[in-house]
Amino acid sequence: MKILLLIPIFVFGFNFQQEYKKHEFKKICLYGANHFQEIKHNEDTLTLVGLSCVKSDYFIYLPHIINNLKHTKKARLNSIYFSILFIEKKLLISYILDNIDISYYRFPKINHPISIVINHIIKRDFKKDNGKIIIKDKNSLYKIYKNDENKIFIDIYQNNQLISSHWYR
């Protein structure tokens, strides 16, 4: 029985929980994606991988995780969380690239840049300046724009200092 408890934590010597505590989100996400077949039946590990993919902006791997989080109530709730963020990302891209109307959508508030931005856009609570969307939220300023390759960027400022930048495709 003890060996079964070690399987969710270690896959080929990789300790998901330890790496998560060290904030190695990109490393966890990519390792989980590359070893998906070995972890797809362990919902706790899938959740750690999903959270790591969200924190490192690797949304591309979320659909596989979403589809496999289905056996427990906790896993299904986590699947909903990942699904909302994935859909919000897709809507943000379509809004910026295709100018689609997203004002009729409603989403819960999630403390993630995509969710914060999309909820402001839905409420039309933003300004446009030189092709950039400018959003003020609490103590942060968000600048959303696309580059020539149609990558969508979210730059987050506090006290006129860039504190983080995210990009999506």
List, for residues 122-145, the tens digit of each pLDDT value. 999 999 999 999 999 989 999 999
What's the pLDDT score for residue 98? 96
pLDDT digits (tens, 9 = 90+) for 142-168: 999 999 999 999 999 999 999 999 999
**Number of domains forming the structure of the chain:** 2
| Mean pLDDT computed over 39-59 | 96
86 contacts: CB under 8 Å, gap ≥ 6? 59, 62, 63, 66
**Per-residue pLDDT, 48:** 95
Q: Is residue 153 part of a domain?
A: yes
Confidence of residue 13 (pLDDT cuts 50, 70, 90): confident
Q: Tell me, yes or no, whether 24 and 61 share the same domain.
A: yes
**Do 164 and 90 fall within a single domain?**
yes
Domain housing 31? 7-71
pLDDT of res. 1: 28
Q: What is the DSSP letter of 144?
A: E
pLDDT of residue 11: 57
Q: Are residues 91 and 162 in the same domain?
A: yes
% residues pLDDT > 90 (the chain): 90
Strand blocks (E) in the chain: 10-11, 14-15, 127-129, 132-137, 140-146, 152-158, 161-168
